[in-house]
Amino acid sequence: MKRITVLFVTFMLLNFADLFTTMTSFNYTIYVELNTVIAFLYDRSPFLMAFYKILGPSLPFIVLQNFDARTRIQKVIYLSTIVGLALATLVYGLIVVHNILLLGTI
């Protein structure tokens, strides 16, 4: 399995964990969502928020799977995207831990 696939799967698992813990906390009104986009989408429809959280992160992965980095700028774009995905994965991990700690207070 490619490293990018492992990174993406990890990112998506954490994304699903964040989605689950966020929706659970909304049901118990434990905290207010700080991300204004997610809060806006949730106010419109929880399904819309879930769709956004699943589709949005999938798009870079789909692009990266078929990306042919031949030129220097293409390699920079590819590596930058991977670094960004790795940092986002780390942040999601911290967010999920934070959410789980908050859920432990109910």
Q: What is the pLDDT of residue 65?
A: 74
pTM of the model: 0.77
CB-CB neighbours of 51 under 10 Å: 12
Q: What is the pLDDT of residue 7?
A: 85
User: Tokens at residue 76, please?
Assistant: 């920079």
C-alpha–C-alpha distance, residues 105 and 8, integer Å: 30
Mean pLDDT in each 10-residue stretch from start to end of the chain (106 residues)? Answer: 80 90 82 85 91 84 76 86 89 90 80
Q: What is the pLDDT of residue 1?
A: 52
Secondary element (H or E) of residue 69? none
C-alpha–C-alpha distance, residues 2 and 7, integer Å: 9
Q: What is the pLDDT of residue 106?
A: 65
C-beta separation of 78 from 64 below 8 A: yes
> Tell me: the pLDDT tens digits for 55-74?
888 887 777 777 777 888 88
